[in-house]
Amino acid sequence: MTTMDLHPASIENVPQPDFSKPLPSREGDRVIQFREALREAMSHEMRQDERVFLIGEEVAQYNGAYKVSQGMLDEFGPKRIIDSPISENGFAGMCTGAAMAGLRPIVEFMSWSFSLVAADPILNNVPKMLYMSGGQFGCPIVLRGNDGAGGQLGSTHSWCVEGLFANVPGMKMAIPSNPYDAKGLLATAIADPDPIFFLESERMLGDKAHVPEEQYYIPFGKARLAREGDACTLVSFGRPVNFCLEAAEKLAEEGIEVDVLDMRTIRPLDIESIIESVKKTNRIIVVDQSWPFAGISSEVITQVCERCFDWLDHQPVRVNTEDVPTPYAKGLEYAYLPNPERIADAVRNILP
């Protein structure tokens, strides 16, 4: 196939996965790490589609700063697994151009914190290209990397960009919380003709779970009910989903059962599943690892108020990171982040 024969700006020309197919089982004994799940999704898509390539700092010869791309240079060679200089603005912009021309770049930011250097291409060009070209040029690009605090990296290296970036129409955002979803969501991200902001977490890359060998595609905009209960709805995404599950475990010992909704994608946001749960529990807590001011938690709560205000028996509550730059000191950083204790307390406080 020639590389330029598909028009990236139109879904008609981009074969989409069959989302009606049931997803493979989450249960099984093929246990791999989160980072391997990401690698499998990328490698599979790269085998299917020669237009897909991976670029980023240390992705090739070093085998990935966090070993996500380990071995990929050996399989795909230096023309498709490309080491970049520390020039985020440059290589993100370069990939924007390459995507306009029909290629399917995967851009790895060592950390989303470093993507701020590339703010202009990724916020001002990537999500707007289709619109401002009147539908002529799409931007089928996947921007991925580590998001979020949690390793004492201090103020500049601990960004949770979801609140900041999801504000921009034209982009889609996926935030997996576990290895199974990481693979299925990244596969979908690469296949999608729109720009995808894919947020991983360095803290989770070593997490292990069963991940099927075959490639599967988790549809965007479909939340996963990770745990069922009727006392309260916990809505979260990414790493804090795991904190919610820990909190739920503790609360269960006290006889409190909660719904935990793992949103998987923020844009599209599966508001229907949230409403369905709220109609059952009449209480909602949003757990969001980004800042509270004008963030994802504010957005979810606004939509809930707009759509099912009458079903609420308590004002909506949110658990965010504290509203300050990320501190370095271990104790301060722990207090800064949403954690299972804070979540469990929020649940206890919201109950009648």
Partner 1 sequence: MTQAATANKGNSKPRLSDELSNDTLLGWLRSMQLIREFETRTMQAYQQAKIGGFCHIYTGQEACAVGTIGSVNHDDPVVLAYRDHGHALARGMDPKACMAEMYGKAAGCAKGKGGSMHMFDKPNHLYGGHGIVGAQTPLGTGLAFAARYEWEVLGTGSKKVCLCYLGDGAIDQGAFFEAMNLAALYSLPVIYIIENNGYSMGTAIHRHSANSENLLARGQAFDMKSVKIDGLDILNVYDQFKPLVDECRDLQRPAFVDFKTYRYQGHSMSDPQKYRTKDEVDEFKAKDSIANLLDHLMNERECIDEDSWKAMRKELAAIVRESVEFSENAADPEPGELYTDVYANPQPNLSPTAEYRHGAKNPLL
Of 152, 167, 303, 339, the one binding partner 1 by CB under 8 A: 152
Task: Report in angstroms how near the CB of residue 18 gets to partner 1 at its nearest.
Answer: 40
CA neighbor of 263 nearest in space, from 166, 175, 168, 183: 175
Q: Which stretch binds partner 1 (CB under 8 A): 125-133, 146-154, 233-241, 339-347?
A: 146-154
Query: Applying CB under 6 A, which residues contact ligand TPP?
Result: 57, 86, 88, 110, 114, 117
Nearer to ligand TPP, 45 or 57 (CB): 57
Task: Report in angstroms how near the CB of residue 71 gets to partner 1 at its nearest.
Answer: 14
Contact assessment for residue 257 and residue 228, using Cβ atoms and an 8 Å cutoff: yes
Cis peptide before 325 (omega within 30 of 0): no
The CA-based angle 166-171-174, given to 5 degrees, is 70
Q: How far is residue 314's CA from residue 283's CA, in Å, rounded to a whole number? A: 6
Tokens 């299972």, residue located: 340
Nearer to ligand TPP, 126 or 304 (CB): 126
Query: By CB under 8 A, what part of segment 115-134 binds partner 1?
Result: 116-117
Of 17, 48, 65, 94, the one binding partner 1 by CB under 8 A: 65
Task: Report in angstroms how near the CB of residue 292 gets to partner 1 at its nearest.
Answer: 5
Of 24, 26, 58, 230, the one binding partner 1 by CB under 8 A: 58
97 binds partner 1 (CB under 8 A): no
Q: How far is residue 147's CA from residue 112's CA, in Å, rounded to a whole number? A: 5
Of 21, 30, 79, 330, the one binding partner 1 by CB under 8 A: 330
**Active site positions, annotated:** 88, 157
Sign of CA dihedral 327, 151, 262, 217: positive
340-350 and 240-253 are packed helices; what angle lies between their axes, rounded to 10 degrees? 60
Q: Which of partner 1, ligand TPP, none has residue 11 at its interface (CB below 5 to 8 Å by kind)? A: none
308 binds partner 1 (CB under 8 A): no
Of 28, 302, 325, 345, the one binding partner 1 by CB under 8 A: 325
Q: Which stretch binds partner 1 (CB under 8 A): 109-117, 191-199, 222-230, 241-249?
A: 109-117
13-22: long-range contacts (C-beta < 8 A, 24 or more apart)? 14/140, 14/191, 14/192, 14/193, 15/191, 16/191, 16/192, 17/187, 17/188, 17/191, 17/217, 18/217, 19/217, 19/219
Edge-to-edge strand ranges of the sheet holding 224-227: 224-227, 259-262, 233-236, 284-288, 317-320
Site of interaction with partner 1 (CB under 8 A): 57-58, 61-62, 65, 83, 85-87, 89-90, 113-114, 116-117, 151-157, 292-293, 320, 322-325, 327-332, 335-336
